[in-house]
Amino acid sequence: MIVAVDGPTASGKGTIARAIAAHFGLPHLDTGLLYRAVGRQVALADGDPDSETDARAACDFDDALLADPELRTEVSGGLASRVSIHPAVRQALFERQRAFAGQPGGAVMDGRDIGTVIAPEADVKLFVIADLDERAKRRFAELRQSGRDVTLEAITADLAARDTRDANRKDAPLRAADDAITLDTSRLGLEEAVAAAIAIVSRTPDQNERPQR
């Protein structure tokens, strides 16, 4: 079973995807982390994230970079949004993601184009959303808890800018797949959101009962 979980930053898609993976015993991949690693590698190499040449070169990052805590910062998130607009970057990471989705038994993947580009054949497609103000509050609380010196206003502006870039990029824009189920977490607590997502996946027919594609 392949489960695709897409949505904007701080919508809760990552937490939901990890919970689904744990519940059903499936491997999980946060595809956004790959783009954050590319953005981080560009910065480490003193490159320009808006340069397709520099961004493509950064796709050859060492896997050890995926464990760098710096990838979870807002700076790396912003860099990821900028490098992800380059078609060459998306193509370079495409096969890596496809291989993960196609492993025996299936997988859970979260990102922005899983259900539309990476795994359009996914058995379940979730599009997780939340109001911008609510997402900003969540990210602000998360960053402050980790000791980051940030303001709510700056976080809100950053998320809004990312939303615009992600939704309007020419290659694989952020959007819900036609057959995706939208889950709005704006008014849901963590446990409620996870329970709702697991319930949606649980309603998926057994593989043997699914019509052949």
Q: Is residue 210 part of a domain?
A: no
Question: In Å, how far from its chain's centre is CA 34?
Answer: 9
Whether residue 98 is predicted with pLDDT greater than 90 in this model: the reply is: yes
pTM score, two decimals?
A: 0.82
Domain that holds residue 60: 2-203
Q: How many domains does the chain have?
A: 1
Whether residue 43 is predicted with pLDDT greater than 90 in this model: the reply is: yes
Q: Is residue 211 part of a domain?
A: no
pLDDT recorded at residue 207: 42
Rounded to an integer, the average pLDDT of 85-102 is 91
Q: Is residue 208 part of a domain?
A: no
Whether residue 7 is predicted with pLDDT greater than 50 in this model: the reply is: yes
Q: Is residue 209 part of a domain?
A: no
Task: Return the number of other C-beta atoms located less than 10 Å from residue 26's C-beta.
Answer: 19
What is the band of 212 on the pLDDT scale with cuts at 50, 70, 90?
very low
Question: In Å, how far from its chain's centre is CA 27?
Answer: 15
Q: Is residue 101 part of a domain?
A: yes
Q: Is residue 12 part of a domain?
A: yes
Contact 198, 19 (CB under 8 A): yes
pLDDT recorded at residue 205: 66
CA distances in angstroms from 87 to 94, 169, 187, 198, listed in the order given: 10, 10, 36, 33
The 10s digit of each residue's pLDDT in 156-185 is 999 999 899 889 888 788 999 999 999 999
Q: Is residue 167 part of a domain?
A: yes
* Average pLDDT of the residues of the chain: 91
The 10s digit of each residue's pLDDT in 189-208 is 999 999 999 999 999 765 43
CA distances in angstroms from 43 to 28, 88, 143, 194, listed in the order given: 27, 18, 21, 35
Q: Which CATH number fits the domain that encloses residue 23?
A: 3.40.50.300
pLDDT recorded at residue 96: 86
Question: In Å, how far from its chain's centre is CA 158?
Answer: 16
